Structure 1
Amino acid sequence: MSISIAAAPSQDTQEVAQVVERLRKAMVDADGVTLANLTSEHLSYGHSAGKLETKQEFINTIISGKSVFTSISLTDQSIKVINSTALVRHTFTAETNDKGKGAGFVKLSVLSVWVKGEQGWQMVARQAVKAD
């Protein structure tokens, strides 16, 4: 006889899922204050085309309207917490309306790294690649 017991998500895993959701919403809402609170001063934000942004560049891109997300969906998400670090993977699907480009669609595979410190969980790194 075999018994399988599924472990409930840890409190840290639940907290990380919540901050990832807050980041998703802040990107759609172009909420610079929330974006600033959820990202580390050391942020390395990698786009699927290879462009890297600092924290301030990432925030400015969103709040200036250069990158506009009319909707973002995160699916197939996995979260692995190791001490005070979390690795988050998901499929990022979005409808966009970037300044000067018009309506568009993007589907990406994303890995983000979050660290828990005095300010709570903050994203320190993110890298995206185009998904099939």
Structure 2
Amino acid sequence: MLKKLILIAAATAAFAGCTTLRAKDPTAEPAVAAAAEKLRVAMIDPTPAALNALVADDLSYGHSGGKVDTKASFISDLMDGKSDFVNITITEQIINVIDNVAIVRHTLTADTNDSGKPGKVSIKILGVWQKQGDNWKLLARQAVRPPQ
């Protein structure tokens, strides 16, 4: 009987140590959505201050054409007009928050004027946001063109 009680106690302790129940932060998803919206607006009307506040220092920003930007090149291209968004529409957005990381997927449709050349784009985006201090910042982003 003592062996049985010890076994049950050990199993209970092991199970309790392997599972952690976390209360989901009800403010996280709306905060991430707000940060993503601020980034959408900042990409249309960019300022260094707005972009710096929303983008992590270690940003890895992948374009659908294969180019990968750092924070510096991402901001520079927006400020110089190499990447110029006339408007951006976000649809089908899904946000999943895990601790201090958020995975954001959506479809981005935009009119562009990159380096003075008008264009249109419709791409699928995967964004990884990280809570840094009190702010959510874009840490990684990858765009892909949907299959034709």
Asked if Structure 1 and Structure 2 have the same fold, meaning a TM-score greater than 0.5 normalized by the shorter chain, the answer is: yes
**2:88 pairs with 65, 72, 97, which one?**
72
Corresponding residue for residue 104 of structure 1: 119
**2:144 pairs with 102, 122, 129, which one?**
129
Corresponding residue for residue 12 of structure 2: none
Distance 2:79 2:134 in 1: 22
SS of residue in 2 equivalent to 1:108? strand
**1:85 pairs with 80, 92, 101, which one?**
101
How many residues are paired up? 123
SS of residue in 2 equivalent to 1:75? strand
Gaps of 5+ in 1: 1-8
Equivalent residue letter for 2:144? V
What fraction of aligned residue pairs are identical, expressed as a percent?
A: 45
Corresponding residue for residue 6 of structure 1: none
Q: Which has the higher strand share?
A: 1
Q: Which runs of 4+ in 1 moved over 4 A?
A: none
TM-score by length of 2: 0.80
Q: Which has the higher helix share?
A: 2
Equivalent residue letter for 1:78? I
Pair 1:51 & 2:67 matched: yes
Gaps of 5+ in 2: 1-24
TM-score by length of 1: 0.89
Compute the RMSD of aligned alpha carbons: 1.3
Deviation at 1:98, TM superposition (A): 1.1
